[in-house]
Structure 1
């Protein structure tokens, strides 16, 4: 029996944040990333939504013995959607329930420590092209909470100077509001 797989498009691209086996670069056609928030979470998080003209780069990895429990717990604000039609084996992507989400807001900012982890993953996966792809295929940008020195994101990782500069430059290019951690 072949183990099912998930498609990761955010923090799951950073292999330091999980131990799922056989991570493989992959693409998901007809979807884009979007920042949103939900009542269940105090900060913004990434989701996906259908977008016919967009292709997302990311990874797929195995879910051993089809034991989705741990991954479902990690992705608790999401619905697991079947995207097997785009892959050679059973594959799912996690999408926030659109009935319970809204764009980022001042009360639900994007954590800088979370964005750092995602961009570090894309830099490792695709080199310099990874972060460029991420920023070009992500919508719904909102305010950013600068928690870099005291990360609130539970899977925060050490940050290279190159990744830090990449994230900071992109935030400036997008003219995003940066709020200090109170």
Structure 2
């Protein structure tokens, strides 16, 4: 296929947050995820980071009308990277794709790190539960670094603009993983 595609590994896995179609389940070898802070933004980014020993699941989706500008706007703060080898797509769908990641020069370390929005984490985990089941959602946590970053419980008044309502089972799953990973909820 000659149409442009992107690989999503965070909120873009949750199909309820976008209208990018067609979309296919995919695996990207040589990357993992991490919570990273940058100047000028309070909450941390969930970003992809190169890691030769890791593989992450996600979705590969079509860029509507080839309009990268609209997708770049949604993914503000990230840079696009062409994916060479390491991408496998469900059904062996042949695609050329790019992945968004925070540029390393933009990353900073905070002594008292700003918290992850629970409303954002909920969206990401809901996407993994619905696309890859509990095993895939467990794998999301295992292939993501930065769980020493606290999480702010904003479920009652969600800050994340594309927040979604979770089922009781989805909510329980997220809460149980936060306990498993020793994440401090504030």
Asked if structure 2 preserves the Cα contact closer than 8 Å seen for 1:146 and 1:178, the reply is yes
CA RMSD in angstroms, aligned pairs only: 1.5
- Within 5 Å, give how 1:84-99 maps onto structure 2: 84-87=84-87, 88-99=94-105
Which residue is equivalent to 1:5? 5
Say whether residues 1:170 and 2:177 are aligned partners: yes
Asked if structure 2 preserves the Cα contact closer than 8 Å seen for 1:5 and 1:60, the reply is yes
Which residue is equivalent to 1:110? 116
Q: Secondary structure at the match of 2:56?
A: strand
The 2-side partners of 1:66 and 1:103 are apart by 35
Stretches of structure 2 lacking an aligned partner (at least 5 in a row): 88-93
Q: Deviations over 1:35-58 (max 9, x none)?
A: 011123210120011111111000
Figure out how many residues of one structure are paired with residues of the other and give that number: 179
Stretches of structure 1 lacking an aligned partner (at least 5 in a row): none
The 2-side partners of 1:37 and 1:155 are apart by 20
The 2-side partners of 1:13 and 1:80 are apart by 17
Q: Deviations over 1:117-142 (max 9, x none)?
A: 00000000011112101011000121
- Provide TM-score, normalisation by structure 1: 0.93
Asked if structure 2 preserves the Cα contact closer than 8 Å seen for 1:44 and 1:109, the reply is yes
Instruction: Give 1:154 deviation, angstroms.
Output: 0.5
Instruction: Give 1:89 deviation, angstroms.
Output: 2.4
- Provide TM-score, normalisation by structure 2: 0.91
